Copies of this chain bind each other. A is one copy, B any other.
Amino acid sequence: MYKAAMIDICKALADPARLKILEFLHRPDAQCCTFADRVCACDVESLLGLSQPATSHHMRILVRAGLVTSEKHGRFIYYRLNAAAFASAAEYFARVVPPPRRPARAA
């Protein structure tokens, strides 16, 4: 995980709307075309209460950061969490910050 990728991930996470999207992707409350772990963009739109372009904007940021993957099916786009990205972010932080119990460093 390069630092630039890590920054993109953190930026993607640093917004209430996008955090809400991620929570929704984890436990989707099916409405129109959402099923199983796949969520369509229109459901995200009604979830957020934002305009369609704003929703599109947020999804693009999440996809670019790698936190979410997208699949086009006809007119619909289905989104899904990408657990691997979360895992490598967690790994990065494990390297940056010492685990809670060990002393930081003897200098």
Interface residues of A, Cβ cutoff 8 Å to B: 3, 6-7, 10-11, 13-16, 19, 22-23, 26-28, 30, 35-37, 80-81, 83-84, 86-87, 89-90, 93, 96-100, 103-107
The quantity of this chain's copies bound in the complex is 2
Contact partner, A3, options B6, B10, B16, B84, Cβ 8 Å: B16
Q: How far is the CA of A26 from the CA of B92 in the complex (A)?
A: 12
Q: Which A-B residue pairs are the 6 nearest by beta carbons?
A: A37-B104, A10-B14, A10-B13, A11-B14, A86-B97, A14-B14
Q: Which of A3, A96, A105 has the most CB of B within 10 A?
A: A96
Task: Check A36/B87 contact, CB under 8 A, given A10-B10, A96-B26.
Answer: no
Q: How far is the CA of A94 from the CA of B100 in the complex (A)?
A: 17
**21 cross-chain CB contacts under 8 A:** A3-B16, A7-B19, A10-B10, A11-B14, A19-B96, A22-B96, A23-B96, A26-B104, A27-B105, A28-B107, A36-B106, A37-B103, A37-B107, A80-B104, A81-B97, A83-B97, A83-B99, A83-B100, A86-B93, A86-B97, A90-B90
